[in-house]
Amino acid sequence: MAFAAGAIALPATAFADEGGTSFWVPGTFGSFSAVPQSPGWSLTITDYYVSTNAGADVATARAITAGRITPNVRLDETSSYMSRHDTLNINPSYAFATSVLGGQFSVGVTVAAGTNTVELDRALTTVSGSSAVTRRVNESDTTTGFGDVAPMAQLRWSSGVSNWTTYATGNVPVGAYNSRDLANIGLGYGAVDGGGG
């Protein structure tokens, strides 16, 4: 009843991940994610590196969300967006030896630390009568620091060669983030997710 009341009270508007940055890091779950673990502590450290390039549409969207241009302005097709993101995802976790609901319960938390560099090359063209003036602005922004905290609880069951899992996770937006910056380590929004497999 409380969940239904909360869902009804929430606003109907949904927003996409800012800048296309997803809460989910590729590789968070792999083919052995449902296999029970050895009880006790474990530590996973993953170097996550991505380098992306995009054209005028993405450059326009990022310039608008960072407050560099107004929403009614369109950048020239020669505009571009480039991002280099290099972080270490540090994930300590603990798997309990005592079963919970017939399965193995584990809890963990992931925090990222690293650097994000963004370059935004903008070409603004103004047409007045028969003449056109193009102004080019190239900005670069780098942020180094800690990212958000992502706790996770997972329950795994095993029967012979078959394994099942269910999880609950989220994102606590405490990382280096400023909506006016081009480069951020944190996401700038909270998230809650759950599922199974």
Lowest mean pLDDT among 4-13, 64-73, 91-100, 111-120: 4-13
The pLDDT tens digits of the residues spanning 48-98 come to 888 888 888 788 777 777 777 777 776 777 888 888 989 999 999 999 999
Is the pLDDT confidence value at 13 over 60?
Answer: no
Kindly report the pTM of this predicted structure.
0.72
Give residues with Cβ within 8 angstroms of 129, minimum separation 6.
Answer: none
Both tokens assigned to 137: 């602005």
> What is the arithmetic mean of pLDDT over 103-108?
95
Mean predicted lDDT score pLDDT of the chain: 83
Number of Cβ within 10 Å of residue 187's Cβ equals 22
Highest-pLDDT range among 23-27, 60-64, 66-70, 189-193: 189-193
How many whole angstroms from its chain centre is CA 117?
15
